[in-house]
Amino acid sequence: MYFKQFTVEGMGCLSYLIGCPQGRVACVVDPKRDVQDYIDLARENDMQITHVFETHVHADHVSGNQELHSRTGAQICLMEGTPVDFEHTELKEGQVMTFGNARLEFLKTPGHTPNSMSILVTDTSRSENPWLVLTGDCLFVGDIGRPDLAGEELLDEQTQNLYNSLHKKLGVLPASLEVFPAHGEGSLCGKGMSSKSSSTLGFEKSSNPVLSLSAEDFTRQVKQGFPERPKSFTHIINTNKKGPPLLDRCPIIRDMSPQQVQEQVQRGALILDTRDTAAFGGVHIPGSINIGFALQTANWIGMVIEPEAELILIVTDQKAYEDMTVQLHRIGYDNIIGYLYGGLAVWQEAGYPIDHLWQISAEKLHNKLQSGKYDYLYDVRTPAEWATGHIEQARHLPLTALLKKAPDIPQDKEVIVTCGVGYRGNIAASFLQNQGFQHVHSLAGGMKAWINSGRPTIA
């Protein structure tokens, strides 16, 4: 049996290629949208991809099932009753399919979504007993799936389904089974996944704290709170239900002159500036949103930008442009209409308006605070980060809350924003500028710089 796990760093998406080189056949489980990796690896091992299995309708990334179907003819399969609008094959509880010496058995494990499934995998060349289980978004390493994405009206039912799937379906399987989930660290489909991308069922049963809870305690704890749901999730769910458009049918991206960019911005296009915090702070196009490259770039884009927005990219080079378009396509942000050819230099040379987001040093901020010559200082880190230590004069406003509603303060007052190392601070500051705030600064290096400079914090 051939088995390979694929990871989308930052987003925490895990997918799988399973097959048999001897039988020259393979399948893909929970594919990412950019599918060339699967095709290349199948070809290298003389296998043909004949099937695509989705453990559920995903909320955090656009599926590659249509891409694989178009390019390989692979049949798309989901658990019976899954509400999708494209041609597919329905699987039934206990159904078995073979791919050479790889045998797959499909189990209903609802809870994360009403029609979720897990897949028992056996390598018949070694044993007739299952070797591993693909648990989708039901069971993660160190965590479990969130049951709220199907809607508030189904939360009680989904929570009960999740408990039953974990205890009565997966919980009765052999402890030796290896667990391979659909997500790992960085995903927003759980609360606190391990950085390890696989485990065993026995280890999770003994060490995953949620699995030892009674049904009553499980319900209470699971419903205590969920990770922030990005703007992108509903859009991604709807896209995956309809069947994602093929990438070659997305808008053709143009290299745009300053005049063309200006015209599109006046029509309502949004500029996504992907440069680092210092470059953006030095000069940028007014109204731009700064989200640079980081592990969780796609998640932050999903938090900040509306999925339907028409986007113009500011990038440093061709590779940055290609990397960002991949990130955007993975979460269904397909309305990329172009990029500024020549970058900010040609914009400035053309005489168009520019703006700045001045980075303030820890020393200068400390002096401002000591003299009382400041208006507003916001710390946009998470509550857990805030609790570890913060600047005494700061107000706590988590970035996810700020993005929902800008602070109700005069827009002509000075606003200073800090975070961990400056990345989220620049997102927040650029968002505030976009909302009309006129004097916004970001603490250079964030709280890391503040602490390293020897400045005081309180807990």
pLDDT digits (tens, 9 = 90+) for 191-246: 667 788 999 999 999 998 888 889 899 988 888 777 777 889 999 999 999 999 99
265-304 per-position pLDDT tens digit: 999 999 999 999 999 999 999 999 999 998 889 999 999 9
Candidate from 180-189, 311-320, 347-356 with smallest mean pLDDT: 180-189
C-beta of residue 437 within 8 angstroms of C-beta of residue 415: yes
C-beta of residue 10 within 8 angstroms of C-beta of residue 53: no
Give the Cα separation of 432 and 417 in Å (integer): 10
379-421 per-position pLDDT tens digit: 999 998 999 999 999 999 999 999 999 999 999 999 999 999 9
Q: What is the mean pLDDT of the chain?
A: 93
Candidate from 70-79, 119-128, 167-176, 246-255 with smallest mean pLDDT: 246-255
**Per the confidence metrics, is the pTM higher than 0.75?**
yes
How crowded is residue 243: how many other Cβ atoms within 10 Å of its Cβ? 17
Q: How many CA atoms lie within 13 A of 218 on its CB side?
A: 25
What is the structure's pLDDT at 47? 98
296-349 per-position pLDDT tens digit: 899 999 999 999 999 999 999 989 999 999 999 999 999 999 999 999 999 999
Question: Which residues are designated catalytic?
Answer: 419
What is the structure's pLDDT at 190? 63
What is the structure's pLDDT at 191? 62
Domains, the chain:
2-233 (3.60.15.10), 250-349 (3.40.250.10), 359-452 (3.40.250.10)
Q: Which residue has the tokens 């942000």?
A: 333
Give the Cα separation of 380 and 400 in Å (integer): 8
The pLDDT of residue 189 is above 70? no
Mean pLDDT along residues 243-251? 85
